[in-house]
């Protein structure tokens, strides 16, 4: 079982015998479908993923450079009402993130009014002076956001992390759905599930909407670091399903402040770039000079307003873990209202009182490095060994400003197929939110990650997590 008392999204608190009222039908499907049959379907899905090459590389794991992420056949389901409320919170949050970025690289009202300590911005490496004073085409900064959420009850969602740089995982949303439709067609007959296959169209429209000038047929491309990158499948998948070129840095040249791609018939002007490489590697003339993945001069073209870059360079300041704890204030400052989606309560270890509190309660808390990612540099107090806790205590005392801490939440679970049959496993959720010049849209689905080990709260694919399809129901009346 998961954490004692955890809320199961299908079974509620009552177990398989007494599921949540709205999920009686789904629970019945689970009970009636033979576990061996579910296993067979799951294996079939994973075999298909392997053949397609939907793989990822685990950091630091050279032995098995290419693996597939385990797929779980039991879907995670959102009711229409739940989704509606969630979407409103997501739209509000992403609008605030865009407004914050526009402000922080422009007037900086939020600093002048003392909402955020200026040193958190100016001494943060994610604040990029190189884009200070630049306004991206159409004023959109965070075009594609992945907001990581956790849940503790029917309407209790919390934001764990914002991803406003190059969030990945959307290909799993689409491929998992493909697999589910093929393997469990009966579910789509019995439930009205919102389709997710329009995502590539939504993304392309978003890209076209932010093209500089009034070009009715802008040339859009996806920029990848190359096929050795762990998310390369996703890059090629997105380019392919949008019908745009997948380019590498060597395909692009900048001349006269304009970006061109090199084709067999010569150069073609590029208007919009969905880049899947980090700021650091974007332009060796401006950021890391040793970058082989970057395009020299691309930032000059961007500054000149001749190309749109998605997401905008410099966005890291908005999703930085040190800034995260201020997002509710950021939402209030720009929207004038309270955040509809709360943060997980967060202790800023840079503040002496908070540090004392955290040091006193390390075994209960989750401690995170503000500049870490992928579940690395993280302490999960309740499951950590004494030695691990002491290691973190020393690190915290030495450099408190590098850490934040959060209470351990009773994360929700979803029934998951394990060796012994169905059992609750903890999940998180990453919905994808697109912002174009014409507004903000939430894709009706997302990436559900599941911690496959019993009781584990770590869902990262690099640490043994799997994925599930995420259904959004069109109505609750089923």
Binding site for another protein (CB under 8 A): 50-53, 118-119, 122-123, 125, 128-134, 226-227, 232-233, 236-237, 239-240, 243-248, 250-251, 253-257, 261-266, 268, 284-286, 289, 296-297, 300, 303-304
For 62, counting Cβ atoms within 10 Å of its Cβ (0-12 exposed, 13-18 middle, 19+ buried), the class is: exposed
Tell me the closest approach of the beta carbon of residue 178 to another protein, in angstroms. 11
> Going by C-beta distance under 8 Å and a sequence separation of 6 or more, which residues neighbour residue 112?
none
Distance CA 443, CA 227 (A): 27
Question: Of 291 and 462, which CB lies nearer to another protein in the complex structure?
Answer: 291
Tell me the closest approach of the beta carbon of residue 262 to another protein, in angstroms. 5
Distance CA 58, CA 67 (A): 8
Tell me the closest approach of the beta carbon of residue 172 to another protein, in angstroms. 17
Alpha-carbon torsion, ordered 293, 231, 280, 138, to 10 deg:
100
> Going by C-beta distance under 8 Å and a sequence separation of 6 or more, which residues neighbour residue 6?
410, 411, 412, 413, 424, 426
415-425 residues labelled b (16+ CB within 10 A) or e (exposed):
bbbeeeebebb
- Between strands 272-275 and 245-247, the pairing is unpaired
Q: Coil, strand or helix: which one is 340?
A: coil
Q: Coil, strand or helix: which one is 331?
A: helix
Q: Which of 474, 470, 443 is nearest to 176 (CA)?
A: 470
Whether the Cβ atoms of residue 56 and residue 237 lie closer than 8 Å to each other:
no
Question: Of 245 and 329, which CB lies nearer to another protein in the complex structure?
Answer: 245
**DSSP codes of every residue in 395-442:** HHHH-GGGEEEEEPP---EEEEEETTEEEEEEEEEE-EEEEETTEEEE
Distance CA 53, CA 170 (A): 16
Residue tagged 């990822």 (tokens): 56
Quick one: tokens of 241? 């399903």
Number of alpha helices (DSSP H) and beta strands (DSSP E) in the chain? 15, 20
Residue tagged 């190189």 (tokens): 130
> Going by C-beta distance under 8 Å and a sequence separation of 6 or more, which residues neighbour residue 182?
45
Question: Of 145 and 244, which CB lies nearer to another protein in the complex structure?
Answer: 244
Quick one: tokens of 28? 């019945």
Tell me the closest approach of the beta carbon of residue 253 to another protein, in angstroms. 7
Question: Of 202 and 304, which CB lies nearer to another protein in the complex structure?
Answer: 304
Question: Of 219 and 404, which CB lies nearer to another protein in the complex structure?
Answer: 219
Question: Of 256 and 475, which CB lies nearer to another protein in the complex structure?
Answer: 256
- Between strands 272-275 and 220-223, the pairing is parallel
Question: Of 313 and 446, which CB lies nearer to another protein in the complex structure?
Answer: 313
Distance CA 27, CA 33 (A): 10
CA angle 335, 444, 446 (to 5 degrees): 95
Tell me the closest approach of the beta carbon of residue 301 to another protein, in angstroms. 9
Question: Of 124 and 408, which CB lies nearer to another protein in the complex structure?
Answer: 124
Tell me the closest approach of the beta carbon of residue 449 to another protein, in angstroms. 24
Question: Of 121 and 144, which CB lies nearer to another protein in the complex structure?
Answer: 121
Tell me the closest approach of the beta carbon of residue 259 to another protein, in angstroms. 12
Tell me the closest approach of the beta carbon of residue 265 to another protein, in angstroms. 5
Q: Alpha-carbon Rg of the chain, whole angstroms?
A: 22
Tell me the closest approach of the beta carbon of residue 44 to another protein, in angstroms. 15
Tell me the closest approach of the beta carbon of residue 210 to another protein, in angstroms. 20
Tell me the closest approach of the beta carbon of residue 179 to another protein, in angstroms. 14
Question: Of 247 and 459, which CB lies nearer to another protein in the complex structure?
Answer: 247
Question: Of 35 and 253, which CB lies nearer to another protein in the complex structure?
Answer: 253
Question: Of 36 and 265, which CB lies nearer to another protein in the complex structure?
Answer: 265
Tell me the closest approach of the beta carbon of residue 68 to another protein, in angstroms. 12
For 439, counting Cβ atoms within 10 Å of its Cβ (0-12 exposed, 13-18 middle, 19+ buried), the class is: exposed
Whether the Cβ atoms of residue 274 and residue 221 lie closer than 8 Å to each other:
yes
């Amino acid at each position: 079982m998961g954490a004692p008392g955890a809320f199961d999204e299908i079974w509620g608190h009552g177990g398989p015998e007494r599921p949540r009222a709205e999920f009686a039908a789904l629970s019945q499907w689970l009970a009636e479908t033979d576990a061996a049959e579910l296993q067979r379907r799951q294996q079939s899905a994973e075999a298909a993923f392997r053949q397609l090459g939907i793989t990822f590389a685990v950091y630091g794991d050279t032995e098995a450079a290419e693996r597939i992420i385990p797929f779980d056949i039991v879907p995670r389901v959102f009711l229409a009402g739940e989704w509606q409320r969630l979407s409103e919170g997501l739209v509000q949050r992403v609008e605030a993130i865009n407004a914050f970025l526009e402000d922080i690289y422009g007037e900086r009202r939020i600093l002048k009014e003392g909402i955020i300590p200026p040193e958190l911005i100016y001494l943060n490496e994610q604040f990029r002076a190189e884009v200070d004073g630049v306004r991206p085409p159409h004023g959109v900064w965070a075009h594609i956001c992945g907001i990581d959420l956790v849940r503790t009850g029917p309407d209790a969602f919390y934001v764990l992390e914002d991803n406003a740089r190059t969030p990945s995982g959307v290909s799993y949303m689409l491929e998992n759905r493909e697999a589910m439709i093929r393997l469990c067609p009966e579910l789509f007959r019995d439930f009205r599930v919102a389709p997710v296959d329009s995502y590539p169209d939504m993304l392309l429209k978003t890209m076209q909407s932010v093209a500089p000038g009034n070009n009715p047929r802008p040339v859009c491309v996806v920029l990848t670091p190359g096929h050795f990158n762990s998310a390369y499948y996703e890059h090629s998948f997105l380019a392919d399903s949008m019908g745009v070129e997948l380019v590498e840095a060597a395909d692009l040249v900048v001349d006269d402040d304009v970006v061109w791609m090199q084709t067999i018939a010569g150069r073609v002007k590029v208007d919009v770039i969905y880049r899947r490489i980090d700021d650091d590697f974007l332009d060796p003339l401006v950021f890391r000079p040793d970058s082989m993945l970057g395009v020299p001069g691309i930032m000059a073209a961007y500054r000149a307003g001749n190309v749109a870059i998605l997401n905008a360079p410099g966005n890291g300041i908005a999703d930085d873990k040190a800034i995260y704890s201020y997002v509710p204030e950021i939402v209030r400052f720009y929207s004038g209202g309270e955040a509809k989606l709360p943060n997980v309560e967060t202790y800023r270890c840079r503040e002496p009182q908070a540090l004392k509190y955290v040091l006193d309660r390390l075994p209960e808390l989750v401690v995170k490095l503000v500049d870490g990612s992928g579940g690395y540099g993280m302490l999960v107090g309740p499951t950590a060994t004494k030695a691990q806790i002491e290691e973190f205590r020393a690190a915290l005392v030495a450099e408190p400003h590098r850490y934040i801490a959060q209470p351990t939440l009773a994360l929700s679970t979803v029934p998951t197929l394990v060796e012994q049959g169905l059992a609750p496993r903890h999940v998180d959720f990453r919905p994808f939110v697109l912002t174009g010049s014409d507004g903000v849209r939430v894709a009706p689905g997302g990436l559900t990650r599941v911690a496959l080990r019993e009781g584990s709260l770590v869902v990262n694919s690099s640490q043994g997590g799997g994925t599930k399809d995420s259904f959004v129901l069109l109505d609750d009346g089923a």
